[in-house]
């Protein structure tokens, strides 16, 4: 089946359940799912019920699409995402973003857990993503371009929208939530980085490293969506101070930052 038909099938399935216009979509990263509790009048759709959706395999990723009201806005939340390291190809990793756009949603908030490589950061900080580097070794736009979705050579000069960044900073200020700002680099994972790799990532200009987000943001830009990205710095990934890391620790720190994250997202959504 061609990608347009696949997208259309998923779109129709969702629209049969929920057909009202939606203001913004939010992709939740590892350990950042509690915002779901604040959504009112929820419609919950299991990924496994949506035609064409892959199935998430990571602990801490629920695998549900939730539509409802958050701070007087209609939001669609993807609770659980698909990672390249799970063995999904890039088309599968980014399929939910294609479907979101087909529902008429033009604004996307992406979030993730990331390792902090900037010496001014500390574990538990939130970082507004100002730009990104794709070091996954792949690209979701490789292959024949589907012109109905976007151009062959999409512009990425403002892959994270300036106005949304400004809004997020203002809201963080009002809430007295300290936010960092920086460049997010995506690697394929699933291993965490070696010290030599971290040295390289710092040298190429990245402030935070993770294993997601970049493919989705490329596809969102391909389709002309406006994107805001927020990383939760769950661990410090500084080569000479590197400590052993595991997924449980990442989830634990992300969970601790969840209150800040949720309050910021709620405020941003209100004025988006």
Q: Which is nearer to ligand HPA, 161 or 213 (CB)?
A: 213
Span near ligand HPA by CB under 6 A; candidates 33-41, 65-73, 133-141, 204-212: 204-212
Supply the minimum distance, in Å, between the C-beta of residue 204 and ligand HPA: 15
Q: Which residue number has the CB closest to ligand HPA?
A: 115
Distance separating alpha carbons of residues 267 and 101, to the nearest angstrom: 23
Nearest by Cα to 134 from 74, 209, 29:
209
Taking residues 136 to 175 in sequence order and writing x for each that binds ligand HPA by CB under 6 A, - otherwise, the string is ----------------------------------------
The residues that bridge with 231 in the sheet, in sequence order, are: 112, 127
The answer to whether 76 contacts ligand HPA (rule: CB under 6 A) is no
Largest CA distance in the chain: 54
Output DSSP code: residue 186. Answer: E
Supply the minimum distance, in Å, between the C-beta of residue 110 and ligand HPA: 14
Taking residues 13 to 52 in sequence order and writing x for each that binds ligand HPA by CB under 6 A, - otherwise, the string is ----------------------------------------
Span near ligand HPA by CB under 6 A; candidates 12-20, 97-105, 110-118, 172-180: 110-118
Backbone angles phi, psi at 207, to 5 degrees: -105, -25
* Per-residue b or e along 131-166, where b marks 16 or more CB atoms closer than 10 Å to that residue's CB: bbbbbbeeebbeeeeeeebbeeebeeeebbbeebbe
Between the alpha carbon of residue 92 and those of residues 4, 37, 87, 200, the distances in Å are 13, 27, 10, 29
Q: Which is nearer to ligand HPA, 76 or 113 (CB)?
A: 113
Span near ligand HPA by CB under 6 A; candidates 2-10, 40-48, 112-120, 142-150: 112-120
Nearest by Cα to 82 from 17, 138, 30:
30
Q: Which residue in the set 140, 210, 215, 229 belongs to the binding site for ligand HPA (CB under 6 A)?
A: 210
By three-state DSSP, how is residue 247 classified?
helix
Residues interacting with ligand HPA, by CB under 6 A? 113-115, 192-193, 209-211, 234-235, 237, 245, 250
């Amino acid at each position: 089946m061609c990608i347009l038909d696949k997208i259309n099938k998923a779109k129709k399935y969702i629209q049969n359940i929920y057909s009202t216009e939606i203001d913004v979509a939010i992709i939740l990263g590892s350990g950042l799912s509690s915002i779901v509790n604040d959504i009112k009048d929820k419609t919950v759709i299991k990924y496994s019920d949506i035609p064409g959706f892959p199935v998430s395999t990571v602990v801490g990723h629920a695998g549900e699409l939730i539509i409802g009201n958050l701070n007087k806005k209609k939001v669609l939340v993807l609770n659980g995402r698909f990672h390249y390291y799970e063995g999904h190809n890039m088309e599968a990793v980014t399929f939910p973003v294609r479907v979101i756009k087909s529902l008429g949603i033009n604004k996307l908030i992406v979030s993730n857990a990331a390792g902090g490589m900037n010496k001014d950061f500390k574990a538990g900080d939130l970082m507004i993503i100002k730009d990104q580097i794709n070091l996954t070794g792949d690209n979701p736009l490789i292959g024949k371009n589907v012109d109905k979705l976007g151009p062959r050579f999409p512009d990425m000069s403002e892959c994270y929208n300036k106005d949304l960044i400004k809004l997020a900073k203002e809201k963080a200020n009002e809430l007295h939530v300290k936010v960092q700002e920086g460049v997010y680099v995506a690697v394929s994972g699933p291993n965490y980085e070696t010290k030599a790799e971290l040295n390289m990532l710092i040298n190429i200009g990245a402030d935070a490293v993770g294993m997601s987000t970049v493919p989705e943001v490329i596809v969102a830009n391909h389709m002309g969506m406006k994107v805001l990205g927020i990383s939760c710095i769950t661990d410090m990934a500084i080569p000479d101070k590197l400590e052993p890391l595991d997924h449980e620790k990442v989830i634990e720190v992300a969970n601790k930052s969840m209150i800040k994250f949720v309050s910021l997202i709620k405020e941003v959504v209100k004025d988006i």
